[in-house]
Amino acid sequence: MIIVAAAETEAIRAIEVEAIPNRFARGWHCLGLAESFKDGKPHTVNAFGQKLVVFQGENGKINVLDAYCRHMGGDLSQGTIKGDTIACPFHDWRWGGDGRCKQIPYSRRVPLRARTAAWPTMEQDHLLFIWNDPEGKQPPADVTIPRIEGATSDSWTDWRWTSTIVETNCREVMDNIVDMAHFFYIHYSFPTYFKNIFEGHTATQIMKGRTRPDIARPDAEGNTMLGNTSVATYHGPSFMIDELTYHYEGFDLHSVLINSHYPIDENRFVLHSGIIAKHSEQLPKEAAEVLAGKLSSFILNGFQQDIDIWKNKARIDNPLLCEEDGPVYQLRRWYEQFYVNAADVKPEMTERFEFEIDTTRPVESWTKECQDNLARAAEGQS
Is 180 in the same domain as 124? no
For 166-219, write each residue's pLDDT tens digit. Answer: 999 999 999 999 999 999 999 989 999 999 999 999 999 999 999 999 987 766
Distance CA 379, CA 358 (A): 34
Distance CA 88, CA 4 (A): 68
Is 34 in the same domain as 109? yes
User: For residue 82, what are the domain limits?
Assistant: 27-143
Q: Which residues contact 42 (CB under 8 A, 6 or more apart)?
A: 53, 54, 55, 76, 77, 78, 79, 80, 81, 86
For 17-39, write each residue's pLDDT tens digit. Answer: 999 988 999 999 999 999 999 99
For 148-159, write each residue's pLDDT tens digit. Answer: 989 999 999 999
Q: Is the pTM of this model over 0.85?
A: yes
DSSP string, 3-63: ---HHHHHSPPPP--PPPPS----EEEEEEEGGGG-SSS-EEEEETTEEEEEEE-TTS-EE
pLDDT at res. 8 = 60
Q: What is the CATH number of the domain that holds 241?
A: 3.90.380.10
**Is residue 17 in a domain?**
no
Is 206 in the same domain as 169? yes
**Is residue 292 in a domain?**
yes
**pLDDT over 70 at 12, yes or no:** yes
Reported confidence tier of residue 302, pLDDT bands at 50, 70, 90: confident
Is 191 in the same domain as 55? no
- Counting the structural domains of the chain, the total is 2
